[in-house]
Amino acid sequence: MRSVWLVLLSGLMSGCARVEATLQPVQVHMSNVDLHVADDVTLHVGELRGQFVPSGRNIPYLDDKRSYTVHVDSGEVAVDASTLTALMTRTFGGDRSNIENLQVRVGSDGTLRQKGVIDAAINVPFQSKGTISVTPDGRLRVSTTSVKGFGVPMKPILSFFGVTMDDLLKVEPGHGVVVDGNDLILDISKVLPVPGFSGRLSAVRIENERLVQVFGNADPRPASPGTSRHHIYWRGGQLSFGKLTMSETDLELIDLDPSDPFDFSVDHWQAQLVAGYSKTLSNRGLQAYVPDYDDLVKRQGAAAHARR
């Protein structure tokens, strides 16, 4: 009888191990990728190492960006002014704040510049300039160095009356932005749309009119595991896409045009996959050679124009 229970227990433990294996995150490496998280939000990834963590399903499903989140262990991710404006508009839009018509610009002097309208007792058009830094808990701080309302410097006036920006700006909590005195503090994991990104911000800088965020350890990293300079490479765990599920995942998407960064769309990547070709490796891994998303859009637009 004891041997029967041992067999049953062994089978149960083996089943639990299999279930646990499906919950393991998939390792991901990106190199030189323009990642379209949404149509108006693009992350310029120089290098990224992290994990695709299941969310709402047992395993990540690439066709459903709500089925996973991306945890960044290390890397550099840049955003330009248009993406910053889109993110801030999403965060402050609707009834979430009393800020309207917000626009963000990255200054060549290493500052972030914002303009918009504060909906207070009267609408106050404002322009502000601030420096950037990282908080001890890994969030982005924008420290206001100057602010104008109706074209007049406001900071000395506010200081005279003992008023700070958080007395004027009202932001609904829970959306990734906190007003702290005259500063804005941004939690990147809450500001970005799904699939959602998390990771500890360790440094930040302005470079080529982009806000460059450094995650994790800034020390030199090991050589890229991919075969191409521009790629997205998933390894380990289980990953689903289309009608396929990979165990011990070994999937690399390779840019067909290495002359510029790999332009990749989270929402429309299947069209990129269909337009390319794939190769099965001797170790049963899969390499897919795909065109840039922006090139694909141009070709589709040219084809539609030719049919008219």
Q: 10-56: per-residue pLDDT in tens? A: 443 444 444 444 467 799 999 999 999 999 999 999 999 999 999 87
Return the pLDDT at 16.
Answer: 44
Task: Using the predicted structure, report yes or no on whether residue 137 has a pLDDT greater than 80.
Answer: yes
Q: 186-202 pLDDT, tens per residue? A: 888 888 989 988 999 99
| pLDDT bracket for residue 246 (50, 70, 90) | very high
Q: 55-94 pLDDT, tens per residue? A: 878 899 999 999 999 999 999 999 999 999 888 888 877 6
Task: Using the predicted structure, report yes or no on whether residue 148 has a pLDDT greater than 90.
Answer: no
Return the pLDDT at 128.
Answer: 81
Q: Looking at residues 100-120, what average pLDDT do you find?
A: 81
Distance between CA atoms of residues 151 and 174, nearest Å? 32
- Residue 154 identity (one-letter amino acid): M
How many residues are present in the chain? Answer: 308
Task: Using the predicted structure, report yes or no on whether residue 262 has a pLDDT greater than 60.
Answer: yes
Domain ranges of the chain: 24-78+217-307, 81-191
Q: Looking at residues 203-227, what average pLDDT do you find?
A: 80
- Asked whether the whole model's pTM tops 0.85, one would answer no
Q: Give which of 281, 234, 239 is closest to 253, Cα–Cα.
A: 234
Distance between CA atoms of residues 61 and 239, nearest Å? 6
| pLDDT bracket for residue 122 (50, 70, 90) | low
Q: Looking at residues 213-239, what average pLDDT do you find?
A: 81
Q: Give which of 206, 39, 224 is closest to 132, Cα–Cα.
A: 206
Task: Using the predicted structure, report yes or no on whether residue 210 has a pLDDT greater than 90.
Answer: yes
Does residue 80 sit in helix, strand or coil? Answer: coil
DSSP 66: G
| pLDDT bracket for residue 294 (50, 70, 90) | very high
| Alpha carbon 233 to chain centroid, angstroms | 16
Task: Using the predicted structure, report yes or no on whether residue 171 has a pLDDT greater than 60.
Answer: yes
Task: Using the predicted structure, report yes or no on whether residue 5 has a pLDDT greater than 80.
Answer: no
